Amino acid sequence: MADLRTFDLNLLIAFDLLMKERNVSRAAEKMFISQSAMSHVLQRLRQQLEDPLLVKTPAGMTPTPRALSLVAPVAAVLKEVEGLIRAPAPFDPANCRRAFNLAATDYVEALLLPKLAPHIARQAPGVDIHFKRTSSHFPLNALEQGEIDLILGFEVMLNPPKHLHCERLFDDYMVCVARIGHPLVNAGLTLEDYIDLPHILVSRTGASTGQVDSWLAEHGRERRVALTVSHFLSASLIVAQTDMVMASPKRTAEQFAQTLPLQLVPLPLELPHYDMVLVWHPLQDQDPANCWLRAEIRAACAALDH
């Protein structure tokens, strides 16, 4: 009796061709092997299945009852295996019904969604996008378990593990934001004048200090943080109506300045540029839907500079 552990499954392909052609030479041509090689394959099949399978008769090669009983099951198995190994169909966003979960900050939401959401609504009306605010800890478990599809944020803050895919999208840098007409703020703002101003700190973690404070501390200086909030939107609304100032990524500040009486001036201190990155798990690297969404995010980021 044949044992699956010792049975050469490639023989099933030869069996299927032999049953269709009922001729060793023609079956050999279809398998791109010689007639003698196909004869050897037939002999192995007979040994494995313990049956003659094809018998010479005046009418040609005739299948045995055992062979005939295997024709349909073998064809079905080969068809199923072919379906398993066939490349997936191209992703069709128009007919996709799926929800994507993205982890990001309010910075990403405010900056990216106005570009991304309208395009997805037109191209993929059945796709839902859910933004989840990133916590102080990198959501590795949620990413590995498929609860989050993609993560967006500044690389220096995310510090993603090295085994994940991480792609740079664009960079940004901090500027000083104040209301138009502020009596002390202009393009020539000095460090001394900047320190003396009342500041708003945007802290999504509730921390009482930020990167500006770290830089000032390294240089033996300190500022007064008069107000701490968790969103750039509320901070911008307050800055527009008071003499408080805030340090904000330039791209977000420019967006709010389109509707609020805000001015942007250079910070009188040296902070690095920050890389905005897109992070995903290797398990999702070849997923057609995930590939499509990553491409849409890249396009939306490219449109920010136009």
CATH number reported for the structural domain that contains residue 58 in this entry: 1.10.10.10
| Same domain, yes or no: 107 and 228 | no
The CATH number given to whatever domain includes residue 154 is 3.40.190.10
How big is the chain by its Cα radius of gyration, in Å? 33
Domain closes at, from 54, 85, 116: 85
137-181 pLDDT, tens digit per residue, is: 889 999 999 999 999 999 988 899 999 999 999 999 999 999 999
Burial class (CB in 10 A: 0-12, 13-18, 19+), 132: middle
Pairing label, strands 165-172, 245-249: unpaired
Given this model, what pLDDT does residue 86 score? 79
Domain carrying residue 146: 93-172+274-303
Instruction: Say yes or no: 38 and 81 in one domain.
Output: yes
| Number of folded domains that form the chain | 3
**74 occurs within a structural domain:** yes
Same domain, 245 and 192: yes
One domain, residues 166 and 289: yes
Q: Are residues 48 and 101 in the same domain?
A: no
- 262 and 178 in one domain? yes
Alpha carbon distance 302, 296 (integer Å): 10
Quick one: pLDDT at residue 2? 55
Residue type, 201: L
Shared domain check, 286 and 239: no
Same domain, 166 and 38: no
Ranges of residues in the chain whose predicted pLDDT is under 70: 1-3, 136
Q: How many C-beta neighbours within 10 Å does residue 162 have?
A: 5
Spatial strand order in the sheet of 174-179:
224-229, 198-202, 245-249, 174-179, 262-266
Residue 209 has a pLDDT of 87
Whether 248 and 213 share a structural domain: yes
Cα distance between residue 178 and residue 187, in whole Å: 11
Side-chain half-sphere of 35: how many Cα atoms within 13 Å? Answer: 4
In a domain, 4, yes or no: no
Backbone angles phi and psi of 121, in degrees to 5: -60, -35
